[in-house]
């Protein structure tokens, strides 16, 4: 069966009630049929649920679906995407280890690496996402334990060559940990390129409607085992209700991503030709500097379009005020189009030189393109571009 069929048909085992839709298992714990069973479950000689901090039928169903989509052996779900990112690092790194990461990272991932892991004696080296193979190799040290990267990155949509990173992993033996949130397993499967782990904020496209928080790490059984131990004893568990929502949402992920990507490409094309837009970034736009790489490792360009408007934050404010359809939020991956100014929100805590290195300017706008009618979106963004340009010109005069 194809993945779309499996995403719909994989379900938790039916109860004696023969339900068609999987029920919610809103329970903190599970009963043992006997003292012997309790002993066997804790000794892990028998599989089964003990406590919802450890496992739950709704959570297991969600994990099974993502493992299938990502071609992964095993996985562990968490309460948020950042809990998944942190668990994938904290469970596998120790004092004295060295981490290499692409410079283009979500702000909270950057804070984990620079402010938390550093306190544990874990050092790091940043490399530009667009660096050559030789430049990535130059960052490797004898104690390099992990390479962590986002591709496409947030918010600059820079790509890292996954085939190249797979080669380097074979050569140096590090753990290749990839944040696959922007692409989703529908557009890209890092494990097929040699990645050991694929991490997601399930809050984004896996939910797709801005309802619940969740995260997940999938990969090899060998690496998921210590991550599961870490999560079991530190408690970043995913709630059964959120897991139920996320599992249901995976049934439509492929369909939604098709529409997201089609809308995003058409909006990017429209804005790319507008004289009042300074720059447009979208992986499947021929003007993107890594267009050829995007076509090689992704099946579509994703749902994020990044634009830059001349005029700084004043232009951004005028642009946001002129929009009538999109929501102003720091979130993304919703059925509704969302606009964000990373400079003042998601990446506001970065130092000026760090923002400059990532291309995060005052006029940068991240657009999470939703599922609305594309003609409405193009018309709204076009008029907002033009109106904001006039507002800024009037203030200059």
pLDDT of residue 374: 98
My answer on whether 214 and 307 are in the same domain is no
Q: Among 250, 280, 313, which residue terminates a domain?
A: 250
My answer on whether 202 and 260 are in the same domain is no
CATH code at 39?
A: 3.40.640.10
Residue 387 CA to residue 323 CA, distance in Å, equals 10
My answer on whether 169 and 266 are in the same domain is no
Residue 93 CA to residue 325 CA, distance in Å, equals 44
Q: Among 219, 250, 281, which residue terminates a domain?
A: 250
My answer on whether 180 and 77 are in the same domain is yes
My answer on whether 309 and 353 are in the same domain is yes
The 8-class DSSP code of residue 338 comes to: E
My answer on whether 121 and 222 are in the same domain is yes
Q: Number of structural domains, the chain?
A: 2
CATH code at 298?
A: 3.90.1150.10
CA 193, 195, 201, 202 dihedral sign is positive
Residue 380: CA count within 13 A, CB half-sphere: 19
My answer on whether 390 and 353 are in the same domain is yes
**How do residues 325-367 score in pLDDT, each as one tens digit?**
999 999 999 999 999 999 999 888 888 988 888 889 999 999 9
Q: Among 250, 265, 296, which residue terminates a domain?
A: 250
pLDDT of residue 233: 96
**What would the two tokens of residue 24 be?**
């919610």
My answer on whether 243 and 284 are in the same domain is no
My answer on whether 180 and 39 are in the same domain is yes
> Range of 381's domain?
253-396
pLDDT of residue 396: 63
How big is the CA angle at 165 (ends 163 and 169), to the nearest 5 degrees? 120
My answer on whether 201 and 288 are in the same domain is no
pLDDT of residue 331: 94
**What would the two tokens of residue 123 be?**
């050092």
Are residues 176 and 196 in contact, defined by beta-carbon separation less than 8 angstroms?
yes
Q: pLDDT tens digits for the chain (397 residues)?
A: 999 999 999 999 998 889 999 999 999 999 999 999 999 999 999 999 999 999 999 999 999 999 999 999 999 999 999 999 999 999 999 999 999 999 999 889 999 999 999 999 999 999 999 999 999 999 999 999 999 999 999 999 999 999 999 999 999 999 999 999 999 999 999 999 999 999 999 999 999 999 999 999 999 999 999 999 999 999 999 999 999 999 999 999 999 999 999 999 999 999 999 999 999 999 999 999 999 999 999 999 999 999 999 999 999 999 999 999 999 999 999 999 999 999 999 888 888 988 888 889 999 999 999 999 999 999 999 999 999 999 887 776 5
pLDDT of residue 391: 85
pTM: 0.94
Helix, strand, or coil (residue 36): helix
pLDDT of residue 216: 98
**How do residues 51-110 score in pLDDT, each as one tens digit?**
999 999 999 999 999 999 999 999 999 999 999 999 999 999 999 999 999 999 988 999
Is residue 155 reached through a cis peptide bond, with omega within 30 degrees of 0 on the bond before it? yes
The b/e string for 338-351 (b: 16+ C-beta within 10 A; e otherwise) is: bbbbbbeebbeebe
Which residues are CB-neighbours of 357 under 8 A, at least 6 positions away? 103
My answer on whether 278 and 245 are in the same domain is no
Residue 146, phi then psi, degrees to nearest 5: -145, 145
Residue 283 CA to residue 293 CA, distance in Å, equals 9
My answer on whether 179 and 212 are in the same domain is yes
Burial class, 210, CB count within 10 angstroms (exposed 0-12 / middle 13-18 / buried 19+): middle
Helix, strand, or coil (residue 396): helix
Residue 104 CA to residue 336 CA, distance in Å, equals 25
């Amino acid at each position: 069966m194809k993945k779309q069929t499996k995403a719909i048909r994989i379900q938790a085992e039916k109860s004696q009630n023969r339900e068609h839709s999987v029920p919610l298992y809103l329970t903190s714990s599970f009963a043992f049929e006997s003292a012997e069973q309790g002993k066997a479950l804790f000794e892990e000689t028998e599989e089964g649920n003990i406590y919802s901090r450890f496992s739950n039928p709704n959570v297991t169903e969600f994990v099974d679906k993502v493992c299938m989509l990502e071609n992964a052996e095993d996985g562990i779900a968490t309460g948020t995407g950042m809990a998944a990112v942190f668990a994938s690092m904290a469970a596998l790194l120790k004092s004295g280890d060295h981490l290499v990461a692409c410079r283009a990272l979500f702000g909270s991932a950057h804070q984990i690496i620079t402010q938390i892991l550093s306190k544990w004696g874990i050092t790091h080296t940043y490399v530009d996402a667009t660096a050559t193979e030789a430049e990535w190799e130059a960052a490797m040290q004898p104690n390099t334990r992990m390479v962590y990267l986002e591709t496409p990155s947030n918010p600059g949509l820079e790509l890292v060559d996954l085939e190249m990173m797979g080669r380097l992993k074979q050569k140096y033996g590090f753990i290749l940990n990839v944040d696959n949130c922007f692409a989703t397993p529908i557009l890209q499967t890092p494990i097929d390129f040699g990645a050991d782990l694929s991490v997601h904020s399930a809050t984004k496209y896996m939910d797709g409607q801005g309802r619940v928080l969740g995260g997940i790490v999938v990969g090899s059984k060998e690496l998921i085992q210590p991550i599961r131990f870490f999560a079991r004893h530190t408690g970043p568990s995913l709630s059964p209700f959120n897991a139920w929502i996320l599992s249901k949402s995976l049934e439509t992920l492929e369909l939604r991503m098709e529409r997201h990507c089609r809308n995003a490409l058409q909006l990017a094309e429209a804005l790319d030709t507008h004289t009042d837009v300074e720059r447009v970034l979208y992986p499947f736009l021929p003007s993107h500097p890594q267009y050829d790489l995007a076509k090689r490792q992704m099946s579509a360009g994703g749902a994020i379009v990044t634009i830059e408007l001349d005029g700084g934050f004043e232009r951004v404010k005028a642009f946001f005020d002129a929009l009538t359809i999109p929501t102003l939020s720091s979130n993304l991956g919703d059925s509704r189009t969302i606009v964000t100014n990373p400079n003042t929100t998601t990446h506001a805590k970065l130092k000026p030189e760090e923002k400059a290195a990532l291309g995060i300017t005052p006029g940068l706008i991240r657009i999470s393109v939703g599922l609305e009618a594309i003609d409405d979106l193009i018309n709204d963004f076009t008029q907002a571009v033009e109106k904001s340009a006039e507002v800024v010109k009037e203030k200059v005069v």
